[in-house]
Amino acid sequence: MSYIDIVPIGKIEEATLITLKHNLFQAFKIQTRIRNRPIDLSAAYDPFRGQYNSSGLLVQLINDLTPETMKILGVTEVDLFIPIFTFLFGEAQLNGPGALVSAHRLHNPFYGIPENEEMFEKRLLKESIHELGHTFGLIHCFTLRCVMNTSTYVEEIDQKSADFCRSCEQEILRWRNEHLTD
């Protein structure tokens, strides 16, 4: 059996992870599981920027894959960066095993407005599918409603759907046919 592993990095609400696990299975039709693994957040912390280096966390995440792990998604509440960018919603290895999403900028209070749990969970799901989509070889899509459409602002995440467009869906199906036997 092959899985998409969901790994919490730092403190994450259990209910959020369970909802995400269920919805990711629906999106990819691949078994999902939550795996608690030690990830050293402090090693990725940049005190000058007050943020966490995404690439450093991704390296730790893919360091210890199990034979059943097909893809691995790290989920964290910390604010991510890579040296060239001010922030990141997430990072993934194109055609690789690992992906990472940050919930930090997906909460409404970050923008000074009251929390909306439903909206937050939708945003987290969309960004998780998006980053995992890259690990299946998908690049950014021009279709505005497709989940693989690029988002650099939270409003753009809200505007797109959690679904793949027909073309991206075909790519995922093709990948499944090539890599999955069960």
Partner 1 sequence: MDHQKVSILIVDDEFSVRDSLYNWFKVEGYRVDTAENATEALKKLQEGPWDIALLDIKMPGMDGIELQKHIKRIDKTIVIVFITAFATVDTAVEAMRDGAFDYISKPVDPDKLSVLIRNAINHRRLVAENIQLKQKVEELSLQDEIVGESPQVKKIQELIEVVAQTDATVLIRGESGTGKELVAQAIHAKSNRRYFPIISINCGSLAEGLLESELFGHERGAFTGAQYKRKGKLEMANGGTIFFDEIGNISAKMQMDLLRVIETKQFTPLGSNKIINVDFRVIAATNTDLEKEVAEKNFREDFYYRLNVFSIQIPPLRERTADIPLLAYYFLGKYAKSMNKKVTDISSEAMKILTQYEWPGNIRELRNTIERALVVVGKKNSIEEEDLNLHTLSKQDSTEIESLEDLERAHIQRILERNNGNISKSAEILKIDRVTLYNKIKKYSLQR
Candidate segments 11-19, 29-37, 84-92, 163-171, binder of partner 1 by CB under 8 A: 84-92
- Residue 43 within binding range of partner 1, rule CB under 8 A: no
- Residue 41 within binding range of partner 1, rule CB under 8 A: no
Least distance CB 97 / partner 1 (angstroms)? 15
Least distance CB 164 / partner 1 (angstroms)? 15
69: DSSP letter: E
21: DSSP letter: H
Site string for partner 1, 149-168 (x = CB under 8 A): -x-xx---------------
- Residue 126 within binding range of partner 1, rule CB under 8 A: no
Name the residue type at position 67: P
- Residue 47 within binding range of partner 1, rule CB under 8 A: no
Farthest CA pair distance, the chain: 48
Candidate segments 78-86, 101-109, 112-120, 157-165, binder of partner 1 by CB under 8 A: 78-86
- Residue 88 within binding range of partner 1, rule CB under 8 A: yes
Q: Is residue 166 a contact partner of residue 180, using CB atoms and an 8 Å limit?
A: no
What the block records as the tokens of 119 is 């909206």
Q: What does residue 132 show for φ and ψ, rounded to 5 degrees? A: -65, -35
β-pair partners for 32: 4
β-pair partners for 8: 75
- Residue 42 within binding range of partner 1, rule CB under 8 A: no
Measured from the CB atom, the residue of 34 and 96 that comes closer to partner 1 is 96
131 classed as catalytic: yes
Q: Is residue 82 a contact partner of residue 53, using CB atoms and an 8 Å limit?
A: yes
Q: Could you say which of 68, 131, 155, 169 is catalytic?
A: 131
Q: Is residue 79 a contact partner of residue 88, using CB atoms and an 8 Å limit?
A: no
- Residue 144 within binding range of partner 1, rule CB under 8 A: no
What the block records as the tokens of 75 is 């989920």
Among 3, 25, 45, 87, binds partner 1 (CB under 8 A): 87
| Complete edge-to-edge strand list for the sheet that includes strand 3-9 | 32-34, 3-9, 69-76, 98-102, 90-92
Question: Applying CB under 8 A, what is the total number of residues that bind partner 1?
Answer: 20
